[in-house]
């Protein structure tokens, strides 16, 4: 049985994504424990290999059908690679691509699959994954039995830094064009870039949210700047919307939208029940409120009583670097 761990590289327009490095870092650790190597499947321009020095082997498949992500083409290509290279474990991100490919490959490649994985370890011979279930209310520690396994891993579960460190003597293998790639029927018609205009706050991973603590519309600019720097949309409590400072589409809460981002930054929001109703399910809530008894701290994971007028500029400066 091989002890190799294979990672599928995700890229947008040839730029490898953060999530891939997170997986690569973890893959190294697991490969060591399993006595194998880290392989990365790079679909697209051969130049991708340059960004994937963290793997021992880069399996490169360059074909026009793979220029942008395409579920059918990727599945055909990845299945060939898996059959050919026969790794012990395949790591995918638990985002769109992983949600597309993990489960179907589990059938086609006849491998066990653990989804929503937040932690991974090797215990003797066994690969153990800790997965989130019930919307994160429970964690399950599972063993992936059999000779092959697939894990789809949650974003941010592992640090990316470990994946960027170059491996000694990284090798690039040009993979023969898998059969069927010329005959892909799923066609990419267009790519829609996120609009700056009317954002959908329910879909964002990170929200920067403000309440009446911001005091005036002019001060909103400061928060907007931070949000832009973080690439996050601005959301707000109802009074901000009532005042007409932000459109209704940005209102979080009972009479607004229910959001469930990965992180929610609340500045100057007291945490009225109507507001909490709309955001208490966020994975990470960080609240800034000068009143230490504000109810927002009852749902927040982290809090500070720092003045928002101090904290926001400080954050902005640091992101700017």
How far, in Å, CA of 155 to CA of 158, rounded?
Answer: 8
**Cα atoms found within 13 Å of the Cα of residue 87, Cβ hemisphere only:** 28
Is residue 267 close enough to count as binding other proteins by CB under 8 A?
A: no
How far, in Å, CA of 54 to CA of 158, rounded?
Answer: 15
How far, in Å, CA of 36 to CA of 270, rounded?
Answer: 52
213 makes contact, choosing from ligand FAD, other proteins, none, with CB < 5 to 8 Å by partner type, with: ligand FAD
Q: Taking contact as CB under 8 A, which single stretch among the options 44-52, 53-61, 166-174, 254-262 is the one that binds other proteins?
A: 254-262
Residues 128-147 that bind other proteins (CB under 8 A): 128, 131, 133-146
For residue 166, what are its two tokens? 């170059």
Nearest approach, Cβ of residue 283 and ligand FAD (Å): 20
How far, in Å, CA of 273 to CA of 62, rounded?
Answer: 53
Among 14, 35, 64, 159, binds other proteins (CB under 8 A): 159
Residues 255-284 that bind ligand FAD (CB under 6 A): 255-256, 268-270, 272, 274-275, 278
14 makes contact, choosing from ligand FAD, other proteins, none, with CB < 5 to 8 Å by partner type, with: none
Binding mask 115-134 for ligand FAD (x = CB under 6 A): --------------------
Q: What is the DSSP string of 64-97?
A: GGGSS--HHHHHHHHHHHHHHH--SEEEEESSHH
Residues 196-225 that bind ligand FAD (CB under 6 A): 211-213
Among 307, 296, 255, smallest CA distance to 278 is for: 255
Q: Residue 220 or residue 308: which is nearer to ligand FAD going by CB?
A: 308
Q: Residue 1 or residue 302: which is nearer to ligand FAD going by CB?
A: 302
> Containing H/E element for 22?
helix 18-34
């Amino acid at each position: 049985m091989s002890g190799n761990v294979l990672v599928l590289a995700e890229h947008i327009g040839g730029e490898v994504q953060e999530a891939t490095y997170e997986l690569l870092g973890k893959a190294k650790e697991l490969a060591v424990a399993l006595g194998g190597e880290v392989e990365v499947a790079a679909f697209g321009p051969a130049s991708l290999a340059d960004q994937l020095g963290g793997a021992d082997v880069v399996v490169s498949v360059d074909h026009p059908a793979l220029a942008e992500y395409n579920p059918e083409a990727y599945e055909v290509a990845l299945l060939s690679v898996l059959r050919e290279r026969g790794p012990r474990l395949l790591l995918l991100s638990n985002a769109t691509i992983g949600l597309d490919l993990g489960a179907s490959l589990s059938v086609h490649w006849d491998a066990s699959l653990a989804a929503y994985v937040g932690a991974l370890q090797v215990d003797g011979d066994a690969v153990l994954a800790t997965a989130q279930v019930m919307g994160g209310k429970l964690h399950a520690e599972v063993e992936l039995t059999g000779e092959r396994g697939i894990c789809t891993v949650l974003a941010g579960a592992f640090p990316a830094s470990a994946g960027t460190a170059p491996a000694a003597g990284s090798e690039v293998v040009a993979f023969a064009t898998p059969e069927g790639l010329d005959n892909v029927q799923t066609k990419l018609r267009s790519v829609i870039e996120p609009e700056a205009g009317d954002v959908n706050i329910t879909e964002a991973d990170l929200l920067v949210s403000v309440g009446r603590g911001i005091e005036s519309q002019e001060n909103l600019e400061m928060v907007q700047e931070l949000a832009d720097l973080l690439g996050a949309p601005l959301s707000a409590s109802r009074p901000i919307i009532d005042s007409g400072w932000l459109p209704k589409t940005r209102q979080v809460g009972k009479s607004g939208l229910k959001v469930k981002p990965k992180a929610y930054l609340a500045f100057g929001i007291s945490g009225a029940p109507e507001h909490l109703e709309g955001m208490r399910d966020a994975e990470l809530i960080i609240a800034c409120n000068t009143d230490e008894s504000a109810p927002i701290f009852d749902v927040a994971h982290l809090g500070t009583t720092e003045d928002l007028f101090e904290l926001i500029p400080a954050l902005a400066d640091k992101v700017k670097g």
